[in-house]
């Protein structure tokens, strides 16, 4: 007789798996992964006695996330083990969705993929919907909570998205009170719809989340962060659980954590499909390869990663090139950087000096939500506007239709950050035929040596090719920019 796994639901977060000890150890190894970047953590204080492994099946308690039950069944089938599951099947909405939609008097007709996303979510009662920026995720979320008609918590990553989600709902015809929560705001309300940043509620006790029958996490790719994982683990009574995102990263451990917390992944459409249907603006990726003088290449040969970053962000010729580039770009431009003090402020200062016929804004995490919204609205309404912003603030969720150019002034190799940043400019507008993505690539190669920024750029180029984004390459000799601009003062 074969070994048997018995799966018993404990709540809406966890299930317990009972099986012989040897099978349970196999299961633990099956759901074991090394932490990404673990090789850089081994010498760090606090990690001395940890083997840098993620174990999704807890051997001591024999528990695993409920959303991973299909994976546990798959594990058992691969090994010829019998499975007895006490997890009840979801009834779902079946064919009743059409009747609901007919009675709702929709403000906008549903696109086919939006309908399928809604149907999938309602019939599974949980899940991850992958749909790119501009595909109308907020509309799907709005209809989802309206059909379910239960107390709903919508979790977003930034203060700006609290305001934007509430505005979107009102544009769709929502007349109910929407209780927004961010720093300093009251966390309790009689409202049925809550919209909160995860930072504002992650320390709330489990009893706080008992009031919600539905939880929706927007930009769910961020839910691998410990604080968001804690929120989802604090919702054992919450029946409906959904995550929305434009993209997921390629790390298997991260995807399985998300599946465990939310359910199966459903990819409903792609950027290319939306461009082909004229739902999104076409994009053109322009790789600006900065060729550094030989002396600089020799100087930076085989330095540590952080030393290379310090060199790049403080290089006067590089800053001058970006400022001159922005000056000559037509339309509204978003310039994205990573380091605020060491790069962003000086970059903003120099762009403002060079682009004296344009309005230049600076946005970082220190800028309050109201000011950020004022900047967004101004750019939507005016011409020749420039926003110099940190990736952390403007790479996710902020919608600016009247955006013609995005400049990556300091990019890395993150698939999610790259695609999310591109998404800021994909929405259509009467003033643009396409969106320019200008990727600044730093070429410090010498001999067989390849610098970090170059290798990161190669990862981005592979991503652009995989996504079938049209690309052109433009080589720029930095020497001609070296004598321009004031001395650095950072």
pLDDT for the residue 36: 62
486 pLDDT higher than 50 = no
Per-residue pLDDT band for 37 (boundaries 50, 70, 90) equals: low
Q: Which H or E run includes 309?
A: helix 305-313
Q: Which domains does the chain have, with CATH numbers?
A: 4-85 (3.30.780.20), 94-269 (3.40.50.300), 278-481 (3.40.50.300)
Tell me the DSSP string of 356-394: TTSEEEEE-TTS-HHHHHHHHHHHHH-SSEEEEEEHHHH
Beta strands in 10-142 (DSSP E): 14-18, 32-34, 53-55, 63-65, 82-85, 126-130
4 pLDDT higher than 80 = yes
pLDDT, mean of residues 451-464: 95
Bigger pLDDT: 271 vs 327? 327
Q: Are 214 and 127 in contact (CB under 8 A)?
A: no
Neighbours of 377 (CB within 10 A): 11
Measured between alpha carbons, how far is residue 227 from residues 91, 157, 199, 232, 427 in Å? Answer: 31, 11, 8, 9, 31
Per-residue pLDDT reduced to its tens digit, 260-276: 999 999 998 888 889 98
Give, to the nearest 10 degrees, the angle between helix 97-104 and helix 137-148: 100
pLDDT for the residue 488: 34
Comparing C-alpha atoms, which of 254, 258, 152, 153 is closest to residue 198?
A: 153
pTM of the model: 0.82
90: which DSSP letter?
P
Among the residue ranges 214-223, 305-314, 316-325, 443-452, the one predicted with the least confidence is: 214-223
Residue with tokens 């993209």: 247
25 pLDDT higher than 50 = yes
Comparing C-alpha atoms, which of 133, 95, 134 is closest to residue 115?
A: 95
By three-state DSSP, how is residue 64 classified?
strand
pLDDT for the residue 2: 64
List the structure tokens of 377. Answer: 């609205």
Beta strand 126-130 with 240-245: parallel, antiparallel or unpaired? parallel
pLDDT, mean of residues 78-91: 93
pLDDT, mean of residues 312-324: 94
Tell me the DSSP string of 425-485: T-B--TT-S-EEEEEEEEE--BTTB--HHHHHHHHHHHHHHHTT--EEEEEEEGGGGTTSS
Spatial distance between the Cα atoms of 279 and 272, rounded to a whole number of angstroms:
10
State the alpha helices, DSSP H only, in 149-286. Answer: 159-171, 198-201, 206-209, 226-233, 252-262, 271-276
Spatial distance between the Cα atoms of 21 and 43, rounded to a whole number of angstroms:
34
């Amino acid at each position: 007789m074969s070994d048997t796994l018995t799966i018993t639901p404990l709540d809406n977060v966890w299930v317990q798996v009972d099986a012989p000890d040897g099978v349970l150890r196999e299961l633990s190894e099956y759901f074991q992964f090394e932490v990404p970047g673990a090789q850089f953590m081994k010498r760090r204080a606090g990690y001395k006695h940890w083997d840098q492994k993620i174990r999704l099946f807890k051997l001591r308690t024999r528990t695993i996330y409920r959303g991973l039950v299909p994976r546990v069944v798959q594990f058992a089938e691969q090994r010829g083990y019998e499975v007895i599951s006490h997890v009840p099947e979801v009834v779902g909405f079946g064919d009743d969705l059409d009747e609901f939609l007919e009675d709702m008097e929709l403000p906008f007709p549903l696109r086919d993929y939006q309908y399928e996303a809604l149907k999938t979510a309602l019939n599974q009662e949980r899940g991850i919907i992958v749909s790119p920026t501009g595909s109308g995720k907020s509309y799907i979320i709005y209809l989802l909570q309206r059909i379910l008609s239960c107390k709903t918590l919508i979790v977003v990553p930034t203060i700006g998205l609290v305001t934007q989600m509430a505005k979107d709902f009102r544009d769709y015809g929502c007349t109910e009170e929407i209780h927004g929560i961010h720093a300093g705001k009251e966390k309790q309300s009689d409202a049925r719809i809550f919209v909160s940043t995860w930072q504002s509620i992650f320390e709330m006790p489990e009893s706080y989340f008992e009031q919600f029958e539905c939880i929706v996490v927007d930009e769910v790719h961020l839910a691998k962060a410990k604080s968001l994982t804690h929120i989802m683990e604090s919702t054992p009574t919450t029946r409906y659980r959904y995550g929305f995102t434009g993209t997921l990263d390629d790390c298997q451990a991260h995807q399985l954590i998300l599946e465990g917390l939310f359910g199966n992944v459903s990819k409903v459409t792609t950027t290319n499909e939306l461009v082909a249907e004229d739902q999104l603006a076409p994009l053109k990726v322009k790789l600006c390869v900065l060729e550094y003088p030989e002396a600089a290449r020799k100087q930076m040969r085989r330095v540590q990663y952080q030393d290379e970053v310090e060199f790049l962000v403080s290089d006067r010729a590089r800053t001058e090139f970006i400022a001159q580039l922005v000056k000559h770009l037509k339309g509204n431009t978003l310039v994205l950087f990573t380091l605020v003090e060491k790069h962003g402020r000086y970059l903003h200062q120099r762009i403002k000096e060079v682009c004296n016929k344009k309005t230049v804004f600076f946005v970082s995490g220190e800028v309050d939500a109201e000011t950020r919204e004022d900047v967004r609205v101004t750019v939507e309404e005016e011409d020749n506007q420039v926003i110099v912003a940190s990736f952390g603030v403007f790479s996710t969720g902020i919608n600016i239709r009247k955006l013609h150019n995005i400049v990556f002034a300091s990019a890395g190799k993150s698939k999610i950050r790259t695609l999310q940043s591109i998404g800021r400019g994909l929405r259509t507008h009467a003033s643009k035929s396409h969106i320019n993505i200008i990727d600044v690539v730093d070429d410090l190669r010498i001999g067989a040596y390849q610098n970090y920024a170059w290798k990161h750029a190669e990862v981005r180029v592979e991503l652009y090719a995989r996504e079938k984004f049209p690309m052109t390459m433009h080589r720029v000799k930095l020497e001609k920019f070296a004598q321009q601009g004031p001395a650095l003062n950072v």
